[in-house]
Structure 1
Amino acid sequence: MDYAKLAHQYTITTVRVIWEVICNVSRLKNVTIFVPMVNFVLSLYYYLCFGLSPCSVDLDDETTMHYWVSKHRRRGLRNLVVVHGCGGDARWQFVLQMSSLSKSFNIYMPDLLFYGNSSTKSMDRSPEFQAKCIMEGLKKGFHVERCSVYGISYGGWVTYRMAEMYPQEVEMVVIVSSGIASATDQKLELLKQLPIPIEKLVVPRDPEALRLLVKKSVCKYDFQRVPDFGLWEFIRIMDDKNRKAKEELILHLMSQETNSQISNLSQETLLVWGEEDKVFPTNLGYQLQRMIGPNARLNILKETGHAVNLDSPNELNALIKSFILGHTCDT
């Protein structure tokens, strides 16, 4: 029996049933059904179809890092660390990419601190601390000595710092839709355009804020049909947990003079942007390319917004595999 195919069919059917419930049942308000069910299905899907297992690594008495990792590390395949952005944990953000990537790489997919099952008592909210914890967990828990790193949005900040701090360990770098190069005046202009404070947009407090975040992030899909009760449930389970710390992560980024701290990377670096990105426009991609230096190349994907992983996962996978593996790959 093909258990992977069976799990795939089960997952698709379950998601369809959940979607119908979400779109047509409006009486549910304070019941938490949808998100725990999706979390369960995603975990099953990652385990059976992608061959990834959940693992936690205690770095010290204060910090625990949680990862989804390839169950069987295959010789001859490169290690790829996949770093998510804000808005849900790693499982939610890479589900459309992992079928392809898990066949081509040994996958290490961490939950960032304050997301999923990663936690710390430290008050450090910098991307550098996130980068340090990810790398320490990779070394201590899985004996990873060399890896390539792919990060999207906030995860791009962390990815850049990993490459900068660990030039011997990080081989190649992929940064997607990340405003690393934004200057102070560009950040202020971004804040002026928002109807609510940025930390309340990135870590939504109500369905209106969550809808606005999705509208700014996703170009090809319309999530407006999802009723309030479904969004409230997502907020209660995914955003309310560690809300203060998550907001502090965003405020730390906005307060930094980030662009003055960007220097050339020694690694070959692929930058990917959506042409319709409403969060970090493409000019920030060109700006980051210049700052990183001659080792950086930039690809702009048409009809794609900020969430390239959702709008164009196949195209993004093809770019990642071609860049890291050195040849054109099927998606």
Structure 2
Amino acid sequence: MADMTPLQQIDSLRARIGGSIIGQRDVIDRLLIGLLANGNLLIEGLPGLAKTRAIKALAKNLECDFSRIQFTPDLLPADVTGTEMYLQTPDGPSFQFQQGPIFANVVLADEINRAPAKVQAALLEAMEERQVTVAGTTHKMAPLFMVMATQNPIEQEGTYPLPEAQMDRFLMHVMITYPPLADEVEVIRLVRSEEQAATTDTSKAGAEKPAPIPQESVFAARREIAAIHTSDAIETYMATLVQATRTPGDFSTDLARWIEVGASPRASLALDRCARAHAWMKGRDYVDPEDIRAIAGDVFRHRLTLTYEAQGEGTSADAVVAEMLAQVALP
């Protein structure tokens, strides 16, 4: 690993995740972009589409502490952040902070929309400020910290929709769809081979596993990404895309009919961070318009509030983003 460049190490991480997840190459790339851009991801898809498996595959192949929080309606904020515990010690009674599962490098918030608003709000400070405050004391998160939340788009029983303020704090909203036929066949074969391997001597298999990708490779990659060149024209293009969500009538009558509330400045920042990470993963030292177009849907999908007219017509946020990309001139 020592003689590999950061890009080669991240490519190795991508290949390892791809060995556990058949197809879904775009999803794997979005997980890596989120990691490299130091952001949090919201991953949405129907049950059984390997949302949790993909996140676990990332954590397993990266040198990191991993925790999984199964969100349920009876969860309390302290179950996420931790709490002050009263302990009897040789020096007398004292209060000590017991860290919750949020104190990890990679945190899987499974079915986040099943938790009530208080618990969802408990994530806000950790996601945005990289710290939590309990009993008046602030506790910092690790330098490598990422929340990956999943939610089911069709089940409404016992769920609590995420408020716009929390949605906006996710760097990207990634959608997972059904795999094509060929990939589905490969999924069957992969799981069958894993079951067969589990019944054999695991001591030999464990010895053959490669060492996880070190955290330093992520930090080194982030330093290189920070130096990616972004021209004035590219910056204007990103800002114009965001502006198109706020003054849609200036760009298209359809956009004016579809968009109720536009994106916040976090969308501009997310476009910049994700586009630079995308360009770096492609081996370039500059941002190209295609980098922006490639990640625009994931950046805007959860930041647009559509009108009742758009919802009544069945117009999706992805269709609105496609119209925006068609109407805003390329630099």
Q: Give TM class, smaller chain.
A: under 0.3
**TM-score, normalising length from structure 1?**
0.22
**TM-score, normalising length from structure 2?**
0.22
User: Quick one: higher RCO (CA 8 Å, sep 6+), 1 or 2?
Assistant: 2
